[in-house]
Structures are given as C-alpha cells and as structure tokens.
Amino acid sequence: MQFFGGSEISPSPPVPTATGNNAHMMYVFNRNGVCLLYREWNRPLHTLNPQQDHKLMFGLLFSLKSLTAKMDPTNAEKGNLGIPQLPGLGCSFHSFRTNTYKLSFMETPSGIKFILVTNPRTGDLRETLKYIYNLYVEYVAKNPLYTPGTLIRCELFNTALDQYVRSIA
Amino acid sequence: MGREVSESCIDSLLTVMVSTYCNRFYANKPELAARRIEAIGYQVGHQLSERYTMERPRFSDHLEAIKFICKDFWFELFKKQIDNLKTNHRGTFVLQDNCFCWLTRMSIDQSPENGTSEELSIMADNKVMQSMHLYFPCGIIRGALSNLGIPCAVSADISNLPACSFVIRIKA
C-alpha cells in the first residue's frame, strides 16, 4: 500500500513576492455593508467581479458571526435566534485558516469591520488589526474632508497602511 | 495656568464648524463663509493674546510682537513653535510651520482614473475646502496682533502639505 504524504496533496501556498506585501488583500466594511475600502496587494486569482466579491465577503462574515455566537458552548443564556447582535456582544470570531490563506477579522463597536487576508503561516493578527484601526481613526475618521459612509480615498491612510502591512511578519 | 481641552475635541469642532459654515449657513457663498470663519478666529485670537501676554511687558516693536506669536503664542496653541520666520523688513512677514497640526490629517482624494468632469469638480471643491480650514488660524493671528496694537492682513499658503505658511502684511 502506498502512503500519500500530506504535503503532496495540498499545494503549498504562494511565497510572498519580493515586491508585494505579506498580505494578500484587505476589506473595510461599515455597519450597513458598504465596502469602504478594498486594497489588493497580491491576489493572483480573481473569481468574482468586485461587487459580488464584496457582497459575498460581507455575507460570509455576517453568517460566521451568527454561527459562532449560536454555537458558543460557554454561554449560559440561550442566544436569541435571528436577532442581530450589537457589535461586541456574545463571542466574536477572529480568524479562519485554510491551506492557502488566513483571513483575520475585527469588528469595532461602531460597526466598522476590518478583514485582512494573509498567507497561512501568519500568527495572530489581532494587534495588527487594532493598529490598522488606529490608522483608520487618525487618517480617515479625523480627516475633515472625509464623509462617513463613503468610499475611503485618503492618500495618507493608503500610504500609512501600505507601509505598515509591508512590515508585518 | 488655565484649563486644558482635548486636541481631538478641538479638531472635530473645527471640522464641523468649517463644514457647517460652508455647506449649511452660507451654502453657495464661499466668500461670506470664509469671512465669518475668519471673524470667529479674530475673536479667539484677540482673547487668547490677552491671556498669554498677561505678565509680559509691552512689545518694543513689530518684530518683537511677531516673535512672540512665533514662539510663545504658537507654543501655547499647538505645543510647538513656528519653524521658520522670514521678513522683508518692510512690513511683510512669512511664518512657516512645517507640520501644521490642523492639516496633518487632511488628505485630498486620490486623482480619479478617468478624470470625468464631475470628479474633477469634486477635486476642485476639495481644494476649496482645504483652504477654508485655513481661515480660522489666519483669523487667530490677525486677532492676536490687533490686540497687541498691530493692524494687519493675514493669508495662508498650502502649496506643500503638511507645511503651511502664513503671510502677515502689516498695515502702514
């Protein structure tokens, strides 16, 4: 009998390119599902068009949050089925990992969701996402020229974000 | 001495003030909005200069007063001094601040890819909004100087963000 080693079945993840950042892409959604920012650094495979991609991503997160809250074994009270929870209530999931990528998620009390997709060997990115949230507050929320709820098009935020993402291991 | 206020509070208050005056009160009259904002700055500068010159002797000449603005006054307001002062010795002074704190977070929208006429007009609007935010500090400087007995006209120039130059022209 032949034994198939695990490494031969799953393809190894792509090595981060020299020019690109360590992250593949990033999404920022507000509480209404509007995609405020989509930044792509290293994404060879595009399956859907941008609108469908954003809707799928938002829907996925909504369902995942709901699922993790309902399946929480440590919560004493019965979860209220079907009622959307306020951000931060119940348990919150923060990442999932596949053989080719890792998706990290953070939701702020104001309903802003940050999603960062990186290579699967990345560690816990909660501090990274918190730092990115700080960048958001500094350069977007405090930008006098930015209207909340619209697409983020602030040079300073984009530059700072690119620089920071390049430095995460 | 004196009470303190959080910087984020002031930043947000100024942002809302400029946008309210520009978009609601004087919606299609940017000159009126600018003059109103500058007048508010004038009042503020007038009162602040009173407070910050409390224990000082009178200034001997215009240059001393301008140096007070550059060093002590700016330090009280923004925790830093003016980085560069130039004059032509004939009543015109240029105060340059290399990192003006109310402008550090302002960034214009990135240039549009297709450059449609509406997006270009949005960019022009953004430039106008950027300059609107400068009327308040100009008013502060003008109010402070006029309280020290120096009538003048102040304008600002933001050709390279986040550095900002204030041009003071003293009325003869």
Distance CA A145, CA B19 (A): 9
Structural domain boundaries in chain A: 23-71+85-167
What mean pLDDT do residues A19-40 have?
83
- B15 to chain A, any CB pair closer than 8 A? The answer is yes
Q: Which pLDDT band, with edges at 50, 70 and 90, does B158 fall under? A: confident
Q: Which residues on chain A place their C-beta less than 8 Å from a C-beta of chain B?
A: 138-139, 142-145, 153-158
Q: Which of A138, A153, A158 sits opposite B105 (nearest CB)?
A: A138
Instruction: Please list, in sequence order, all residues whose beta carbon lies within 8 angstroms of the beta carbon of residue B144, skipping any fewer than 6 positions away.
Output: B45, B46, B48, B49, B69, B73
What mean pLDDT do residues A38-46 have?
86
Contact at CB, B105 and A143, closer than 8 angstroms: yes
Nearest CA-CA partner of A137 in A127, A125, A146, A126: A146
Q: pLDDT at position A80, please?
A: 58
Q: Which pLDDT band, with edges at 50, 70 and 90, does A16 fall under? A: very low
Q: What is the distance, to the nearest Å, from the Cα of residue B132 to the centroid of all Cα atoms in its chain? A: 10
Contact at CB, B14 and A145, closer than 8 angstroms: no
| A vs B: CB pairs below 8 A | 37
Structural domain boundaries in chain B: 7-170
More confident residue, B61 or B1: B61
Give B 123-162 residues with CB within 8 A of chain A.
126, 129-130, 133
Nearest CA-CA partner of A115 in A58, A154, A155: A58
Q: pLDDT at position A111, please?
A: 86
Q: Which two tokens stand for residue A133?
A: 């949230």
Q: By percentage, how much of chain B surpasses pLDDT 90?
A: 44
Q: Which two tokens stand for residue A88?
A: 């931060």
Mutation test of the interface with chain A: which of B106, B122, B129, B133, choosing the one with the most A Cβ atoms within 10 A?
Answer: B106
Q: Which pLDDT band, with edges at 50, 70 and 90, does A8 fall under? A: very low
Is residue A55 over pLDDT 80?
Answer: yes
Is residue B107 over pLDDT 90?
Answer: no
Distance CA A41, CA A161 (A): 11
Q: Locate the chain B residue with the closest alpha carbon to A153.
A: B109
Q: B38-77, pLDDT tens digit by residue?
A: 999 999 999 999 988 988 888 888 899 999 999 999 998 9
Q: Locate the chain A residue with the closest alpha carbon to B130.
A: A145
Query: Can you name the CATH fold of B7-170?
Result: Muramoyl-pentapeptide Carboxypeptidase; domain 2 (3.30.1380)
Instruction: Please list, in sequence order, all residues whose beta carbon lies within 8 angstroms of the beta carbon of residue B145, skipping any fewer than 6 positions away.
Output: B45, B49, B65, B66, B69, B151, B152, B154, B168
- B121 to chain A, any CB pair closer than 8 A? The answer is no
Q: Locate the chain A residue with the closest alpha carbon to B20.
A: A144
Instruction: Please list, in sequence order, all residues whose beta carbon lies within 8 angstroms of the beta carbon of residue A84, skipping any fewer than 6 positions away.
Output: none
SS3 B52: helix
Q: A91-132, pLDDT tens digit by residue?
A: 778 899 999 999 999 988 888 999 999 988 888 888 999 999
Q: pLDDT at position B116, please?
A: 61
Q: B19-40, pLDDT tens digit by residue?
A: 899 888 888 888 899 999 999 9
Distance CA A108, CA B165 (A): 38
Contact at CB, B106 and A155, closer than 8 angstroms: no
Q: Locate the chain A residue with the closest alpha carbon to B12.
A: A142
Q: Nearest C-alpha of chain B: how many angstroms from A111?
A: 20
Q: pLDDT at position A77, please?
A: 62
Q: A69-100, pLDDT tens digit by residue?
A: 778 777 666 555 555 556 666 677 889 999 99
Nearest CA-CA partner of B93 in B44, B162, B145, B33: B145
Q: Nearest C-alpha of chain B: how many angstroms from A138?
A: 7
Is residue B111 over pLDDT 70?
Answer: no
Mutation test of the interface with chain A: which of B102, B105, B123, choosing the one with the most A Cβ atoms within 10 A?
Answer: B105
Using an 8 Å Cβ cutoff, are B158 and B138 in contact?
Answer: no
Q: Nearest C-alpha of chain A: how many angstroms from B140?
A: 19
Residues in A touching B109 (Cβ below 8 Å) = 145, 153-154
Q: Which pLDDT band, with edges at 50, 70 and 90, does A66 fall under? A: confident
Q: A151-163, pLDDT tens digit by residue?
A: 888 888 998 999 8
Distance CA B51, CA B69 (A): 13
The strand order across the sheet containing A23-29 reads: A35-40, A23-29, A113-118, A102-107, A95-97
What mean pLDDT do residues A37-54 have?
87
Angle between helices B30-52 and B7-20 (to 10 degrees): 150
Q: pLDDT at position A67, please?
A: 84
Return the CATH number of the domain spanning residue range A23-71+85-167.
Answer: 3.30.450.70
Output b/e per residue, A129-163; b: 16+ Cβ within 10 A: beebbebbebbbbbbbbbeeeeebbbbbbbebbee
- Give A26: exposed, middle or buried? Use CB within 10 Å, 0-12, 13-18, 19+: buried
Distance CA A100, CA A118 (A): 9
Mean confidence (pLDDT) of chain B: 86
Sign for the CA dihedral angle at A28, B127, B133, B88 comes to positive
Q: pLDDT at position A19, please?
A: 41
Q: Which of B8, B15, B107 sits opposite A155 (nearest CB)?
A: B107
Nearest CA-CA partner of A104 in A116, A91, A119, A87: A116
